[in-house]
Chain A
Amino acid sequence: MAFKQITSPHAHASQNTGKVMQLVLWATLPGLLALTYHFGWGSLINVLLATATAVVAEALIVQMRGRSVSFYLRDYSAAVTAVLLGLALPPLAPWWVVVVGTLSSIVIAKHLYGGLGYNPFNPAMVGYVVLLISFPIQMTSWVTPLALLPEGVSHPGLIESLSIVFAGYSPADGVTGPTPLDSFKYSDGLLVEQIYSQNQLFSQAGIAGVGWEWVNLGFLAGGLVLLGSRIFTWHGPVAMLAAIAIMSALFWDGGSSDSPGSPLMHLFSGASMMGAFFILTDPVSSTVSNRGRLIYGALIGVLVYIIRAWGNYPDAVAFAVLLANFAAPFIDNYTLPRTYGHIDRRRATEKGEEEKSK
């Protein structure tokens, strides 16, 4: 009798990377539904187009790198990147915007750095920032939420949407408009109260902006599902949202004309919830320890607020995440957990002799 030699442990939990990624994809559904309901077919087209591009690009690159295509496609990581990018892009953006962004994500940010597990930067956010810097006009025109469309105007139907995206048709007047963060930023000289009463985006909203609050609630719901399934720990998202809340409360300024906005608006506008639960939780490019994730999340929250309040861009999750990606290895060096039997935490940069001399 001869048996196989296999290293321990022999038992294995049923979790695998493909399943984790699929769960993340399912968890984006509430957010995607909210986007589609409030802003029309555009986001769904973005997501599908980005996914198709990503899968083809991933397959080609993996093939070029001489690896097994079916093995690598089964991890669903390309699909996750593409879906997150598709959700972040403005609905009804031209097809080439989506394709260029996805290629930047998959080819440059991911595979040129070694593929899954080796990318120092969040691929979806790299794609997004490439687009934001290269094509600012296409990237800043957002669709008007359903509730605020002018009389007689509706969101383009599926066929019309496809022709807008692929054939360059212009949407009807009033279909595109500013986002709450945009309009808040450019409403100079008005008290917060005035903005809230004059601007329909706020006056008809429950907590933070028509349509947008539902999109954020959708991502929050999906994020809580992932948190409940232990796909990630609470530390990063909670730290980021807490940092945004604290910063916006600190600089609320009593709602004066200089006020950058209320905590509620900042938490439920723009990409706050998507960033907190779907972007900064990308494990590859974030920090590794729970303590590190607290710092990492808080750093992103603070950066998001600083750029929103005093920077040139109305939203800032992509920039904040990329900047924090830079800092992640540094944070990791100083946030090791305390190991059993040790009095204190160690630094990753410690040399062998240092602890002995303590």
Chain B
Amino acid sequence: MKTWVTPGGVHPPENKHQSLTLPIGTLPIPEKLLIPLSQHIGTAAKPCVELGSAVLKGQKIAEAAGPVSVPMHAPTSGTISAIEHRPIAHSSGMLAPCIEITSDGKDQWQAHQGVADYKNASASTLLQAIAEAGIAGMGGAGFPSAVKLNPGHERPIHTLIVNATECEPYITADDSAIRERAAEIIEGIGILSQILGHPDNIMIGIEDNKPEAIEALEPHVQGSGISVRSFPTKYPSGGEKQLIYILTGQEIPSGGLPADIGMVCINIGTTYAIKRAIVDGEPLISRVTTMTGDACGINRNYETLIGTAVSHMLEHSQFNEERCSRLVMGGPMMGFSLTSAEVPIVKTTNCILAPSYQEIPDDEPAQPCIRCGLCAEACPVSLLPQQLFWYSQAEDYERLEAHNLFDCIECGACSYVCPSNIPLVQYYRHSKGEIQKARAEKVKSDHARQRFEFHQQRMEQAERDKEAKRAARREAAEQAKATAGAANNGAAKATAEGQSGDSAADIIAAAQARAAARKVSPEQQLAKFERSIAGAEMRLQMAEEKLTEADAQQTDEQKNILVAAVEAARQKLEQAKGRLAEHIKEHKGEQVD
């Protein structure tokens, strides 16, 4: 089976064998579980339980808030002991709203059952069940799965890619899950295929350093139309964009989504959760998390309840704090360091890494960049990291954008190879943040300026209208006077023409008034049309900007709204242009006449 080769990439020591010596284990149920209300991309869930109320395992404790959100469920039975802000696993160490459950130790399930006759259920029924089960992408981004699996009619899906790459060193959560749960995973993929209307291609992408997992999948994919594609191990092959290129040779357009080219890419752990939700009616309340690193005596995978404190995992893994150089949630390439172990495992936590100083020593001080170009050789998306670093230091945002800073996937390959130990990714994150801030401010100031300009125009227009009215009144008065005078004079002169004279004066006056009206209005109207076109153009441009700037992380829903906004603005612009064209035609016609 042909696979493609991405540019760049690195080969850090894999260090996966340590956590694969034991099967997936379970931890004792912790006394307290802390469930953050936002473990996914999108709006935080809304609590639907009271403080002190008793909950059963699997019971919903927070509702999805809006379309891009997922509900939360109790990972075990117990009582709600707190609904408040607590520290969560976030690189900034921030506090976030959480629900704390004090376990009653019984681990008692609520009554649950899967979707009845799911093999014949409609896609919307299945999507509803997935949404209700609180499933968000478990590979790291945490995008609500039901939204991802519903890209809309205008984007038919022909390829479903299941991501079993797991290219980060140390992490073996997917690998071990495949080894032990291949049948259920394949069942989950079958459900996905059903939801997506049976796409032409269904592929499982997996690196060739997982022969056991590949072997475990083989018997279950026989005759299912699913192909297992293995390819040479290289970091970061597991990035969505990279995997799609490796398997299909196609690239997702910059700023776009896989659905734009008819593809959906979903993490293999998520497919297992989907199977559990649809077939067994179990919401997402636990996941496989790798506990690894030399600072722990036990390295293995655990089926971990969501909300378990990292410290609880460490306690049961013979953790030695003295030896631990840092505590990382995620892998050694993209994971973020935790300052405290009192934070919960969430739906996206695939690994807790507690390395010793020998494994991951403290960072060396950065030396000057000599532009050696090793970073550019390692970059999987063909950027020039050394130039991005240079312009980040110079805060030259225009150059950064021209160098495609926003296509950086922050995989860390550049920093990994940098002989000068420069924390390159940190510079890029900072610059991205600054540029986004500047953009937001620009939008805000543009709005203000626009409002001000419209206000001024309106005031000027009102002034002009008043002036025009006054002029019209004055003219009418003068004309009335003149007609009165003429009538008086004419009455004496020509009695025979009396009536016709009167009417002739009327006609002249009316014609003059029309001419006067025409003299003012074409120019004014032209200006008005031009103003409205300019306004419409500005709005269209802004809408388009917003759309192009929309992050890959933004949901389809949000994107659709933006697309609709662009379309509406375009239509308004067309209308305005149409009116102007009509006006010009009319005006010309009159001149010709």
Contacts and interface: CB of A to CB of B under 8 A. Distances in A.
Contacts of B196: none
Contact of B332 (A10, A17, A290): A10
Given A342-B404, A346-B404, A5 B370 contact: no
Interface in B387-440: 387, 398-399, 401-404, 407, 410, 412-413, 415-417, 419-421, 423, 425-426
Contacts of B262: none
Contact of B337 (A5, A118, A283): A5
A10 B325 CA distance: 10
Interface in A12-54: 12-13, 15-17, 19-20
Contact of A337 (B363, B382, B413, B545): B382
| Interface of B, helix, strand, loop or mixed by DSSP | loop
Contact of B387 (A2, A3, A117, A288): A288
Interface stretch (A162-170, A202-210, A347-355): A347-355
Given A19-B419, A339-B407, A11 B332 contact: yes
A315 interface: no
A319 interface: no
A152 interface: no
Among B336, B419, B421, residue most surrounded by chain A Cβ atoms (within 10 Å): B419
Return the 7 tightest CB-CB contacts between A and B, nearest first.
A9-B412, A117-B368, A341-B254, A340-B381, A11-B332, A339-B404, A350-B402
B486 interface: no
Nearest to A75: B367
Contacts of A352: 398, 401-402
B370 A342 contact: no
Given A6-B363, A340-B381, A356-B544, A284 B420 contact: no
A352 to B, nearest CB: 5
B333 interface: yes
B521 to A, nearest CB: 35
18 contacts: A1-B327, A6-B362, A12-B360, A12-B363, A12-B421, A13-B10, A15-B374, A77-B370, A115-B368, A233-B377, A288-B371, A288-B387, A332-B387, A341-B407, A346-B403, A351-B398, A351-B402, A352-B398
A289 interface: yes
Contacts of A20: 372, 419
A116 interface: yes
| Interface of A, helix, strand, loop or mixed by DSSP | loop
Interface string A320-354: 00000000000010001111111000111111100
A178 B367 CA distance: 43
Interface string B250-270: 011111100000000000000
B368 A336 contact: no
Contact of B425 (A7, A231, A233, A284): A7
B513 to A, nearest CB: 47
Contacts of A19: 419
A289 B95 CA distance: 43
Contacts, number: 185
A349 B407 CA distance: 18
B391 to A, nearest CB: 9
Given A13-B10, A16-B364, A289-B384, A7 B426 contact: yes
A249 B314 CA distance: 70
Interface stretch (B338-346, B457-465, B582-590): B338-346
Contacts of B362: 4, 6
Contact of B254 (A6, A288, A336, A342): A342
Interface residues of A, number: 51
Given A288-B384, A349-B402, A9 B415 contact: yes
A15 B364 CA distance: 12
Contacts of B332: 8-11
Contact of B417 (A4, A15, A118): A15
B58 interface: no
Interface of A: 1-13, 15-17, 19-20, 71, 75, 77, 115-118, 230-233, 283-284, 286, 288-290, 332, 336-342, 346-352, 356
B377 A17 contact: no
Contacts of B339: 2-5
Contact of A17 (B333, B376, B420, B544): B420
Given A233-B373, A284-B370, A341 B416 contact: no
A219 to B, nearest CB: 20
B365 interface: yes
A348 B396 CA distance: 11
A333 B255 CA distance: 23
B444 to A, nearest CB: 17
Interface in B218-240: none
B327 A3 contact: yes
A8 B360 CA distance: 12
Given A288-B387, A341-B252, 5 more contacts: A8-B336, A117-B371, A338-B382, A339-B254, A340-B380
Among B337, B421, B544, residue most surrounded by chain A Cβ atoms (within 10 Å): B337
Given A6-B326, A289-B384, A339-B381, A12 B416 contact: yes
A7 B245 CA distance: 28
B241 interface: yes
B321 A1 contact: yes
B468 interface: no
Interface string B332-360: 11111111111000000000010100001
A7 B425 CA distance: 8
A281 to B, nearest CB: 10
Contact of A8 (B255, B333, B365, B380): B333
Contact of A288 (B324, B373, B398, B417): B373
